[in-house]
Structure formats: C-alpha cells, structure tokens
C-alpha cells in the first residue's frame, strides 16, 4: 500500500493561500498536517481578482466558517448584482452582466428567444439588472417565490487585502501551522518536490505541495517551468475614499488601449485600468505595473498543485478570476490525493482545470468578438457565436464556468441579433406575451422604486449587525 | 412547409405528434407514410423518466395514456446475474441518500465498514426499496427529501403507444398515407430528397423528410448513403428474439434484465401481459437456442409467436443529412439494456424542434428545394452524437464491470480494449470511488454508482474527506434517511392497487 498524504505544504501570502488552507482544514481529517508557509511580502497580484466574487461565494464562505456579517463588518465589502459594461465595443453598448437564477420559460420557449423575437432590451426584464441600474439593493427573499426579487442573485465587491486579512484571522483558530518564511530553494527529483528550504534555515518536507504564491509560482516553476501561455500587460490600481457606497455593480468601460473596471466598497472606490501598454512617456506609463496574463497547460505536476494565480491569471474584465479560484479549490477538495501515487487524481484534476480555463477564456474573448454574421464553426467560440447569430441557440459545453444565463445576457448586451428565431416562439400569441412583458417591466420598476439604495440598505444592515454583536 | 415522416412505429408517431402539437399554429403540414405490410419493431417498451416530460409537453393526460397503452409504473431496472451469477441489484431512478458535509452519501457509506456489512446502499434509495416490495407512490407525495428523491417512468405496449399517438396526431391534422415506399427522388444540386414513390405509384412530395423507417434507414442510408459507425466490437450482441407471455399475479414496478451466457433477457411487466426478449450474440448461440433459453425463463404461457430481430449496434455517421433527419432505429441502435431506445427518439425530436429549419427555398428547374443551413444540421449532429456515445459507454460498463468469466462472451468482454473515456472513468472509480461527471448525457453519477457497486466493482478507497465524518454522525444521518424511506414505503400501495386507485388501469373507470 502506498504511503498516505500526511503533510501538506501550502505556499503563499495570498487570498488563494488562505482560502486553500481554510478549505483543507474544514475538509480533512485532523491527522493530516497542514503547513502554510507565508512569505512576508504580500502578493500585490490579488488585486487582479477584480474585486468581485460571484454568488456561489456565499455558500463557499459559509462552509469555510466565514459568515456574511463577518465580511460586511470586517472587510469593507459591498454587495454586487454584477458588472455594468458602458460604451462597450464599436457600437458603444451598455448593459449589466447581472447575476440571476435560471430564466423562466414560457410554454417551453426560452426567455431569451422571446426577448429577441419581441426585440426587447433583456436588462429591463431581469430584476438584478434593473435594481443595479437604479442603485438599489435588498437581499433576495428565499421563502417567497412570488416576489420578483427572489430571482436575483448577488455576489460581493471586496477589498483583496482586507478579505485576505479576514481569512488569515480565521486561520488563527484552526489547526493550520503557519510559518512566516520565504522559500529559498526547492529540491526536486523524479518530477516531484522532495523538500523546500526556507530563509530561516529550516527544511520542510511534505507529500503534497500547493503553490498559491502567484504567477511566479516558485514550486510549480521548479517542476514545470513558467506559464506556457503568457502575455505581458500593464495595469494601474488606485483607491479613492468613498463617503457613500455606489451602486451594487462594478462598472467596466473601454479606454484608448484597454479597459478599466471600478467598484465601490463601504468607504472606498477601487479603479483598475488594464492596457497592453500605456503610452510611453505618459504619467500612467510611469505608474503602471507589469503583469503577465496567461495560464499553464496543467495545474498539477508531480506532487505539486497550483491554485489561483499560480496557474492562471485571468483578466478582471469579468468575475472569471474568482470563479476560477473557486473552481480550483473545489477541484482540489474533490480530488485530494489518497496517497503519494497521485497519477489518477492528477490526470482528472488537469482535465477539469483545462476545461475551466478554456471556458473562462471563451467568455472573456466573446467580449471582444464583434462579428455580426456568424457562419463558421471552426472553434468553440465560433460555434457559440455563430449559432447564436443564426437562430439564438445557446451552445453549451460540459460544465462551463459561465452558464447559459451568463451567455444569454452577454449576447444580448453585445447586441448580437439572431437572424432567425426559435420556431416555437411563433406558436405563442405574441401580443399576449408582449403584454405580459410590459406588465413584468412595470412590476420590476415598481419593485425597485420601493427598494432602498445600496448605501442605505448597507448602512442600516451594518448598524443592525453591530448592535446584534454586542 | 411540407414535412413527410417515413415510418409509423413509435418513432414516427412520436415525431408526428410532437411536430403537430408544437407547430400547431404554423403552416407546417405533416404527412406520415406507413405500410401495414411492414411490421414495426416495437422496441423500447420500457422507458426512462424523461418520457413524462414528452407526454406533458403534448398535454397528454397520464391516466388516459396509461390506460390506453396498458402501462405500468417503473422505478428502475433489476439486473440479475450481471456482477456474478446468483446476485442482483436494482438501478433506480434517483439518488442514494443525501450528501453529508457536502460529501456524496455513497462515499460516506463506503467509508463506514460497519455500514457496508450491516446495510446495502440501496436501502437509501426510495425507488429500490419500493420496487423490491412491489409498491409505488408519486415522488410529490413524499413528506421528506428522502421520500421525494426519486423518479419514475413507464413500461407500456409500444404498439399501443404508437396507436395512441396516431389518434392524437391525426386529431391535430397529421395526414396518414398508407403505402410502401418503392423509390425516392433526389434533387442533384442540393442532394435533397424531393419525393417518394409508393407501391401504388402515388408520389409524395415534401420539403423535409423524417426517416423513421427503422434499421434499414430507407432515406438516410438507402437513398443518401450516409454511412454507419459500427460499434459491434464494443456491443457485439446482434440479434434478439421477443415473445410476450401471460402477466404475473402481481405486477413488479420495475424492468428486469437477466444476464445470459451469450446475451441477456428482458422482462417488462405491463397491465395485460409481460414483454420478454433475449438479446444475444449470434457468434455464441444459435437462434433456436436463444429462443429455447427465453421460453424456459418466461413467467407465464407465451401469448404470441416469437419475433426475430437482427441488428448491428452503432449509429449513422450523420443523423441529419441534407433535408433528411433520421430518428429512432434509422439513426442508430443501442441494445435496450437501459431502456434508452425511446429516450433517444425523444432526444432526436426535442433537438429537431429546437433546430427546426426555416422556410428558405431555392427554385431549381421549377421545383421548390428547402435550403438547409449547415449550422442547424451540424449542431443537431453534434448533440445527438454525444448522446449516443455516452449511452454506449454506460451500456458497455454493464458488460465489463463484473466477475463473470463463465462463457465465451464474458471472456470476450474480459479481454476487450475499452474506449478511452470509459477506461478513465473506471480508473477513477477503482482508485477513489469518484464518478467523472458530465452535463450533457442521459446517465448521471448515481446511475454509474448503482451499476458499479451493484456489479461488485468495489473501490480501493473513498473520498479522503470522509475521514472527517464521525461514525456517530454518519449513523444518525443514515438512520434518519432509512427510516424516512421505510415509513414512506410502508404507507405506499402495492403497485397494482395504486394503478387502480389512480385510475390508470385498463377497462376500469376512475
């Protein structure tokens, strides 16, 4: 029988490292040692998670012992209904890429097909988009499906440093052994890491190493070299103080050589601007930091797994970075190796990782695909866009990171107009359907007119939570 | 648009009904050509739960449908002698237990040695417990999650189902033409089939043809020569003999598949009779021996002459070519071990409705020719190919995941090289009881778990996270589920009593 995994070494001073340590602590038997080696320098790359966590982070946090009140009270977090894209693309499109439960069908006809047939603005019929647009927020009710707001989903806007601090604080009460040190040498053999030497002179060995350090990923690099796919970019990040929190959605807009994304927290506003390269000689060029966007072919080599930016740095245009991080950790939990022969787990982990990265790239690339006439099916993206432009078919592949609703909202937002419609639409009394949509639109407007602003809601919620604490 | 369906078996009338209903208000005229001289195969008397959605979408009343087709409820399939001679298990429609600390219940159950020795995983599936006690109730009657976490399907007379749907479709103005197709005309530029000539010289023209002509693929193969992917090396059974017999005293709410030396025997209990058949590999048994084996295992006296079937497992290279879409046996054949024949018809129809071509015509030499957009046919072909391939792997699993080595056929499966996709799945299962998931496919992880554990493929390990679940915690959780299921099954009616009370029994008023 092969030796069991008895010690895990996690390396990094990042959100990814803290999430991974917490998740392993919750999931694994206490007989397994979890060592977190934390270099003093905090990774500045965490800002590239884009400050937005999708709705599944509520559950994820809950399972890790991180409650929503914790987040709100300790990390300056705000709520998020999604991202608003402003003046996007050559047609200067505006829409909110909102979070929403699966769309309802009408007599078996998909919602997006009806919207297309009636030439409606999809965002006016999605409660989270309407609420975000009007700057209002309230928790979606979970026990009243008749309330239109129950169809909304929400995520969070966060400050990466504060979020990491909260996660680290949680780790203080767990069995994770935290060592403040930097790895100065990685000893490898037979495609495995044998041990690492720290700057304090100690040597640590483990059966499994988890690299959460960031793009330079020293553990994985020692085994497999650098990212196979990389592209240099520049970014500027700045923070302004907020008196009042803004709307519950990020705002993304194109700039002359890239785009910028901004999001509002309780007391501050973050802006991150990405460009291929800022104009040489400009102040931005002087302030900009360089990053490498890209990914590895495989996230698991030998006995070393990469999580988060150690394997894939996705652009923060969408919430893909946090979706990928969540998927990385979920995959690790489901495939935590039984013993030191990790071949079976490694293969499956890498297959799923590749699928996740591919699906995040497809969604990102589609933001820059302005074709209006789709005929080719050569690639997966061609297939998705051509089929939609042809007759509004939402092509989906297995277990994508972005679901059909995400794609439907993006297609509509980008102004992709199918040439034909689903034939089942023509079975419906379109005048009646149109009337139903008008009522729905009026109902949503009425609903949001009664909702508090995001700022008021959060303000009162924080007072309530603080009072409850004491 | 003129649509012509060739063939009036289950596939033909399901397609006609769906198109007539779903395009009721559009100028789509559906004609179905069938010949009473050509018998229908009538495969797929047992179904999967998805059939309920098909019937619901057509607005079919469940009681009426069940009465007319002499249908019974089906909670799963009992597999006898598959893992080992003398052993059996039920593959139920539904999950086993409920997850504990986000870990699948079966994993937690595997991790508890005392559980494995004292209970069976099937004790935690309502479908299995109810099936073995011959009882039934609807999922929505359940008070707790454990009592609601199951699905059900039907076992029915597929010939009667076709007749039932024929009435349904004809009421929706589907035109039926009696006749045998003797010739087809193809427009050379587009490759479209433009008309059929019947044996009485009648010519039937249409813009779009649905080939439901059965194994021979009258249009998709004989006319358009699409080609066939032969999967005989993986699923080599190539013949079947079917014979109905008198019904049993009590009607089991499940189908049975009993492994044989050179194939397997199905038993499908209906209200008025039991359907039986022996699927076999002609390499290792003769037609007469196959029939004798079947007759010997009948539960009652035969009520009709045996019917012999010949087939080759596999699928067409393309399901949709030019203006012809193959649905049913003309699209491909996978043996009915998991009741997928009607399901694949349903999938074909559902995809066709979603991708139904628009009226875009060219006029060539005075004739109207429907222009098929390759985007539609390509999407259809990709979706259906994936369905077929994933079902193929699941069927093959039954033959290769076992300890049988007692005949030539079983030895063949022992030494065969498997599709890579299945090899990977088996490695993951054996190492750590992990089931590789997919989104687009018929059989979800609980089905794989049912077959793998049912056929004694014990994993070497389970999910390491199970170590964090204490024995007490697991046993409390498991005992609650078991009790919930027991209470619900105790309160449920015997299957036949339920059928009568529900008003689905043929010849009885509600």
Q: Examine the domain organization and report whether B248 and B362 are in the same domain.
A: no
CA–CA separation, B488 and B468 (whole Å): 31
Q: Examine the domain organization and report whether B325 and B221 are in the same domain.
A: yes
> Chain A residues with CB-CB distance to B under 8 A?
5, 26-31, 63, 108, 333-339, 344-345, 347-348, 374-375, 377, 383, 386-387, 390-391, 393, 395-399, 420, 422-424, 426-427
- Which residue of chain A is at minimal alpha-carbon distance from B441? A398
C-alpha closest to that of B220 among B342, B116, B307, B348: B348
| Best of B464, B470, B471 to mutate (most A CBs within 10 Å, chain A) | B464
Query: Which pLDDT score is estimated for B146?
Result: 85
CA–CA separation, B41 and B55 (whole Å): 21
Asked if A29's CB is within 8 angstroms of B468's CB, the reply is yes
Going B151 to B157 to B162 to B168, the CA torsion angle's sign is negative
pLDDT tier, A376 (very low <50, low <70, confident <90, very high otherwise): confident
Of A26, A375, A399, the CB nearest to B439: A399
Asked if B358's CB is within 8 angstroms of A390's CB, the reply is no
* ipTM of this complex prediction, to 2 decimal places: 0.93
CB proximity B474 to A under 8 Å: no
Q: Examine the domain organization and report whether B303 and B334 are in the same domain.
A: no
Q: Examine the domain organization and report whether B166 and B205 are in the same domain.
A: yes
Of A344, A393, A427, the CB nearest to B22: A427
* Whether residue A53 has pLDDT greater than 70: yes
Query: Which pLDDT score is estimated for A356?
Result: 98
Range of the domain at A412: 110-152+362-463
Instruction: Quote the minimal CA–CA distance from A387 to chain B in Å.
Output: 7
Collect all residues of chain B within an 8 Å Cβ-Cβ radius of residue A337.
Answer: 464
Asked if A344's CB is within 8 angstroms of B432's CB, the reply is yes
Q: What is the pLDDT of residues A188-242, one digit of tens each?
A: 999 999 999 999 999 999 999 999 999 999 999 999 999 999 999 999 999 999 8
Instruction: Quote the minimal CA–CA distance from A7 to chain B in Å.
Output: 14
In a domain, A442, yes or no: yes
Query: Which pLDDT score is estimated for B44?
Result: 54
Asked if A348's CB is within 8 angstroms of B438's CB, the reply is no
Q: Examine the domain organization and report whether B472 and B358 are in the same domain.
A: no
Q: Examine the domain organization and report whether B420 and B488 are in the same domain.
A: yes
CB proximity B27 to A under 8 Å: no
In a domain, A370, yes or no: yes
Q: What is the pLDDT of residues A378-431, one digit of tens each?
A: 899 999 999 999 999 999 999 999 999 999 999 999 999 999 999 999 899 999
* Whether residue A82 has pLDDT greater than 80: yes
Asked if A348's CB is within 8 angstroms of B428's CB, the reply is yes
Q: Examine the domain organization and report whether B421 and B487 are in the same domain.
A: yes
Asked if A399's CB is within 8 angstroms of B375's CB, the reply is no
pLDDT tens string, chain B, 510 residues long: the values are 999 999 999 999 999 999 999 999 999 999 999 998 776 655 558 999 999 999 999 999 999 999 999 999 999 999 999 999 999 999 999 999 999 989 999 999 999 988 777 789 999 999 999 999 999 999 998 888 888 999 999 999 999 999 999 999 999 999 999 999 999 999 999 999 999 999 999 999 999 999 999 999 999 999 999 999 999 999 999 999 999 999 988 999 999 999 999 999 999 999 999 999 999 999 999 999 999 999 999 999 999 999 999 999 999 999 999 999 999 999 999 999 999 999 999 999 999 999 999 999 999 888 899 999 999 999 999 999 999 999 999 999 999 999 899 999 999 999 999 999 899 999 999 999 999 999 999 999 999 999 999 999 999 999 999 999 999 999 999 999 999 999 999 999 999 999 999 999 997 655
CB proximity B436 to A under 8 Å: yes
pLDDT more than 70, % of chain A: 99
Instruction: Quote the minimal CA–CA distance from B465 to chain A in Å.
Output: 5
Q: List, as one string, the DSSP characters of B153-171.
A: EEE--HHHHHHHHHHHHHH
In a domain, B379, yes or no: no
Query: Which pLDDT score is estimated for B43?
Result: 52
Of A395, A397, A427, the CB nearest to B379: A395
Indicate the residue among B310, B326, B358 that finishes a domain: B310
Range of the domain at B20: 2-45+157-228+316-372
Verify whether residue B501 is a known catalytic residue. no
Under DSSP, is residue A35 helix (H, G, I), strand (E, B) or coil?
A: strand
Collect all residues of chain B within an 8 Å Cβ-Cβ radius of residue A424.
Answer: 22-23, 353-354
C-alpha closest to that of B444 among B245, B185, B150: B150
Asked if A426's CB is within 8 angstroms of B26's CB, the reply is yes
Collect all residues of chain B within an 8 Å Cβ-Cβ radius of residue A427.
Answer: 22-26
CB proximity B24 to A under 8 Å: yes
Asked if A399's CB is within 8 angstroms of B354's CB, the reply is no
Query: Which pLDDT score is estimated for A107?
Result: 74
- Which residue of chain B is at minimal alpha-carbon distance from A375? B375
Buried b (16+ CB within 10 A) or exposed e, B467-493: ebbeeeebeebbeebbebbeebbeebe
Q: What is the pLDDT of residues A384-398, one digit of tens each?
A: 999 999 999 999 999
In a domain, B146, yes or no: yes
In a domain, A289, yes or no: no
In a domain, A240, yes or no: no
Of A333, A338, A424, the CB nearest to B461: A338
Side-chain-side CA neighbours of B205 within 13 Å: the count stands at 6
Instruction: Quote the minimal CA–CA distance from A399 to chain B in Å.
Output: 6
Asked if A398's CB is within 8 angstroms of B428's CB, the reply is no
C-alpha closest to that of A311 among A302, A321, A319: A321
CB proximity B424 to A under 8 Å: yes
Q: Examine the domain organization and report whether B189 and B336 are in the same domain.
A: yes
Asked if B428's CB is within 8 angstroms of A427's CB, the reply is no
Of A339, A398, A423, the CB nearest to B356: A423
Query: Which pLDDT score is estimated for A127?
Result: 97
Query: Which pLDDT score is estimated for B41?
Result: 59
In a domain, B476, yes or no: yes
pLDDT tier, A22 (very low <50, low <70, confident <90, very high otherwise): very high
Beta bridge partners of A85: A95, A252
CB proximity B461 to A under 8 Å: yes
CB proximity B444 to A under 8 Å: no
- Which residue of chain B is at minimal alpha-carbon distance from A398? B439
Indicate the residue among B310, B342, B364 that finishes a domain: B310
Asked if B24's CB is within 8 angstroms of A398's CB, the reply is no
Of B353, B373, B431, the CB nearest to A344: B431
In a domain, A117, yes or no: yes
User: Virtual CA dihedral for A166, A171, A172, A176, nearest 10 degrees?
Assistant: -160
As for how many domains chain B has, the answer is 3
Collect all residues of chain A within an 8 Å Cβ-Cβ radius of residue B373.
Answer: 390
As for how many domains chain A has, the answer is 1
Of B23, B428, B434, the CB nearest to A423: B23
In a domain, A143, yes or no: yes
Asked if B376's CB is within 8 angstroms of A391's CB, the reply is yes
Q: Examine the domain organization and report whether B30 and B93 are in the same domain.
A: no
Burial class (CB in 10 A: 0-12, 13-18, 19+), B34: buried
Which own/partner pairs from B418-425 qualify as long-range (CB within 8 Å, at least 24 positions apart)?
Answer: B418/B234, B419/B234, B419/B392, B419/B393, B421/B389, B421/B393, B422/B393, B422/B396, B422/B397, B424/A347, B424/A348, B425/B393, B425/B397
In a domain, A239, yes or no: no
- The CA-to-CA distance between both ends of chain A, in Å, stands at 54
Side-chain-side CA neighbours of A426 within 13 Å: the count stands at 14
Instruction: Quote the minimal CA–CA distance from A91 to chain B in Å.
Output: 26
Query: Which pLDDT score is estimated for B509?
Result: 59
CATH number, domain containing residue B273: 3.30.70
Cβ-Cβ pairs closer than 8 A, A with B, add up to: 88
Of A108, A348, A375, the CB nearest to B57: A108
CATH number, domain containing residue B185: 3.50.50.60
- Which residue of chain A is at minimal alpha-carbon distance from B355? A422
In a domain, B233, yes or no: no
- Which residue of chain A is at minimal alpha-carbon distance from B351? A393
In a domain, B77, yes or no: no
Q: Examine the domain organization and report whether B279 and B297 are in the same domain.
A: yes
Decide: B234 and B394 in contact? Cβ < 8 Å. Answer: no
Q: What is the pLDDT of residues A446-461, one digit of tens each?
A: 999 999 999 999 999 9
Catalytic residue selected from B74, B135, B321, B425: B74
């Amino acid at each position: 029988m092969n030796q069991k995994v008895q010690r895990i070494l996690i390396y990094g001073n990042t959100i990814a490292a803290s999430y991974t340590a917490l998740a392993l602590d919750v999931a694994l038997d206490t007989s397994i040692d979890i060592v977190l080696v934390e270099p003093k320098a905090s990774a500045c790359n965490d800002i590239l998670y884009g400050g937005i966590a999708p709705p599944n982070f509520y559950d994820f946090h809950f399972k890790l012992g991180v409650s929503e009140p914790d987040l709100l009270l300790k990390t300056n977090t705000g709520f998020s209904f999604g991202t608003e894209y402003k003046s996007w693309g050559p047609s200067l499109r505006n829409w909110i890429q909102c979070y929403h439960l699966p769309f309802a069908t009408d007599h078996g006809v998909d919602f997006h097909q009806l919207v297309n047939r009636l030439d409606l603005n999809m965002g006016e019929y999605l409660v989270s988009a309407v609420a975000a647009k009007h700057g209002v927020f309230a928790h979606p009710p979970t026990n009243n499906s008749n309330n239109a707001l129950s169809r909304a989903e929400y995520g969070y806007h966060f400050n990466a440093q504060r979020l990491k601090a909260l996660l680290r604080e949680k780790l203080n009460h767990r069995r994770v052994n935290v060592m403040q040190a930097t790895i100065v040498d990685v000893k490898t053999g037979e495609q495995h890491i044998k041990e690492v030497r720290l700057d304090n002179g100690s040597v640590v060995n483990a059966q499994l190493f988890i690299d959460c350090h960031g793009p330079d990923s020293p553990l994985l690099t020692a085994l497999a070299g650098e990212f196979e796919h990389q592209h240099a970019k520049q970014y500027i990040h700045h923070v302004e103080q907020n008196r009042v929190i803004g709307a519950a959605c990020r705002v993304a807009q194109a700039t002359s050589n890239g785009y910028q994304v901004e999001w509002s927290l309780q007391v501050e506003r973050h802006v991150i601007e990405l460009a291929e390269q800022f104009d040489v000689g400009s102040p931005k060029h002087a302030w900009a930091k360089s990053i490498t966007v890209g990914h590895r072919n495989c996230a698991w080599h030998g006995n070393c797994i990469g999580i988060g930016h150690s394997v894939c740095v996705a652009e923060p245009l969408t919430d893909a970075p946090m979706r990928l991080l969540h998927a990385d950790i979920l995959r690790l939990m489901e495939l935590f190796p039984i013993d030191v022969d990790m071949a079976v787990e490694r293969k499956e982990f890498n297959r799923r990782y590749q699928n996740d990265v591919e699906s995040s790239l497809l969604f990102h690339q589609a933001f820059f695909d302005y074709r209006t006439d789709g005929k080719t099916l050569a690639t997966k993206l061609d297939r998705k866009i051509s089929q939609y432009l042809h007759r509004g078919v939402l092509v989906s592949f297995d277990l994508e990171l972005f679901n059909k609703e995400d794609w439907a909202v993006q297609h509509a937002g980008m102004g992709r107009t199918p040439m034909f419609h689903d034939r089942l639409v023509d079975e419906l009394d379109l005048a009646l359907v149109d009337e139903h949509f008008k009522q729905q639109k009026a109902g949503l407007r009425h609903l949001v007119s009664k909702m508090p602003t995001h700022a008021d809601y959060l303000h009162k919620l924080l007072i309530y939570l603080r009072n409850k604490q004491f | 648009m003129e649509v012509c369906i060739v063939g009036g078996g289950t596939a033909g009338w399901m397609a006609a009904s769906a198109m007539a209903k779903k395009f009721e208000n559009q100028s789509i005229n559906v004609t179905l050509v069938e010949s009473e001289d050509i018998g229908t195969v009538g495969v797929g008397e047992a179904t999967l739960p998805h059939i309920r959605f098909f019937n619901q979408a057509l607005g079919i009343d469940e009681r009426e449908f069940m009465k007319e087709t002499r249908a019974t409820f089906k909670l799963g399939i009992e597999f006898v002698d598959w893992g080992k001679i003398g052993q059996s298990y039920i593959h139920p429609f539904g999950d086993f237990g409920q997850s504990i600390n986000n870990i699948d219940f079966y994993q937690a159950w595997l991790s508890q040695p005392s559980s494995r020795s004292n209970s069976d995983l099937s004790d935690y599936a309502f479908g299995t417990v109810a099936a073995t006690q011959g009882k039934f109730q609807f999922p929505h009657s359940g008070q707790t999650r454990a009592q609601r976490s199951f699905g059900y399907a039907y076992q029915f007379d597929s010939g009667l189902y076709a007749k039932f749907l024929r009435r349904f479709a004809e009421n929706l103005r589907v035109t039926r033409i009696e006749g045998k197709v003797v010739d087809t005309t193809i427009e050379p530029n587009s490759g479209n089939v433009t008309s059929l000539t019947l044996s009485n010289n009648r010519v039937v023209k249409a813009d779009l043809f649905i080939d439901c002509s059965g194994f021979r693929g009258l249009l998709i193969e004989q006319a358009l020569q699409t080609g066939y992917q032969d999967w005989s090396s993986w699923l080599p059974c190539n013949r079947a003999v079917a014979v109905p017999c008198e019904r049993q005293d009590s009607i089991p709410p499940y189908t049975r598949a009993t492994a044989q030396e050179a194939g397997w025997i199905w038993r499908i209990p209906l209200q008025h009779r039991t359907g039986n058949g022996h699927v076999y590999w002609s390499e290792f048994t003769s037609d007469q021996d196959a029939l004798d084996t079947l007759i010997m295992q009948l539960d009652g006296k035969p009520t009709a002459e045996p019917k012999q079937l010949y087939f080759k497992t596999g699928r067409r290279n393309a399901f949709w070519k030019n203006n012809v879409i193959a649905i049913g046996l003309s699209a491909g054949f996978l043996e009915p071990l998991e009741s997928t024949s009607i399901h694949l018809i349903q999938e074909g129809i559902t995809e066709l409705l979603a991708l139904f071509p628009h009226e875009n015509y060219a006029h060539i030499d005075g004739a109207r020719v429907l222009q098929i957009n390759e985007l539609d046919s390509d999407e259809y072909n990709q979706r259906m190919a994936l369905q077929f391939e994933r079902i193929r792997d699941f069927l093959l699993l039954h033959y290769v995941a076992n300890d049988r080595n007692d005949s030539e056929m079983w030895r063949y499966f022992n030494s065969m090289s498997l599709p890579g996709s299945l090899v990977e799945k088996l490695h993951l299962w054996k190492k750590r009881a992990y089931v590789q998931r997919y989104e687009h496919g018929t059989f979800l992880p609980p089905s794989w778990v049912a077959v793998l554990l049912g056929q004694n493929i014990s994993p070497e390990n389970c999910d390491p996270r199970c170590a964090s679940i204490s024995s007490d915690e697991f046993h409390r959780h498991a005992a609650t589920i078991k009790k919930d299921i027991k209470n619900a099954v105790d309160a449920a009616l015997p299957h036949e009593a339920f059928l009568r009370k529900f008003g689905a029994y043929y010849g009885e008023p509600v």
